[in-house]
Amino acid sequence: MRVIGIDPGSRVCGYGVLEARDGEVTHLTSGCIVPKSTLPINQRLKIIYDGLLKVIDQHSPDVMSIEDMFFAKNAKSALKLGQARGVAILAGSNSGILVHEYAPTKVKLALTGRGRANKEEVQSMLSRLLGVQEWETQDASDAVAIAFCHINISQIEKKLGKEFVQTRRRRRRFTIDDLPS
């Protein structure tokens, strides 16, 4: 199975391609698509789309894994991130590959065992697992982490069945209105 991981962004879009075969995971490539920040958003999105199509054509992944949205304090930044995610998902869909989305905490949990691990811990674990000592940027290593997360989760689902790999349910928070009068 060949997986392309995407760390979307309108200024820097990271990508990483991994191949899983016979229990071994191999790092094929990783990098970033960086449009000029002076360009309008529509042109930056087109550059990201074209760049991702080029990477997909070169490496022929079977699956795309992309970082899911997280809550941002700045609404304008969140909208631009959403647009970049949409462009990446469209590139995958137009190339005929399945697209899976993973929350940042799930990616960190799959790699380090902690959902709140910092970026340095994630890079360190990736370096140990894949033998890559230097990462071009944090965006590139994040993209590789997202691809690695998909490989781990898909292997677990394959062995145990999808019904065993469920997300944690949130506890219901009680308020004063829930108490009997």
Question: Which residues are designated catalytic?
Answer: 7, 67, 139
> What's the rounded Cα separation, in Å, for the pair 122 and 29?
17
> What's the rounded Cα separation, in Å, for the pair 170 and 91?
33
> What's the rounded Cα separation, in Å, for the pair 8 and 87?
9
The alpha carbon dihedral of 45, 54, 17, 125 has a sign of negative
User: Which of 9, 55, 53 lies closest to 31, judged by CA?
Assistant: 55
Q: 22: which 2 tokens? A: 């016979």
- The interaxial angle of helices 104-112 and 119-130, nearest 10 deg, is 50
Q: 178: which 2 tokens? A: 């829930």
Strand residue runs (E) in 86-161: 98-102
> What's the rounded Cα separation, in Å, for the pair 48 and 27?
22
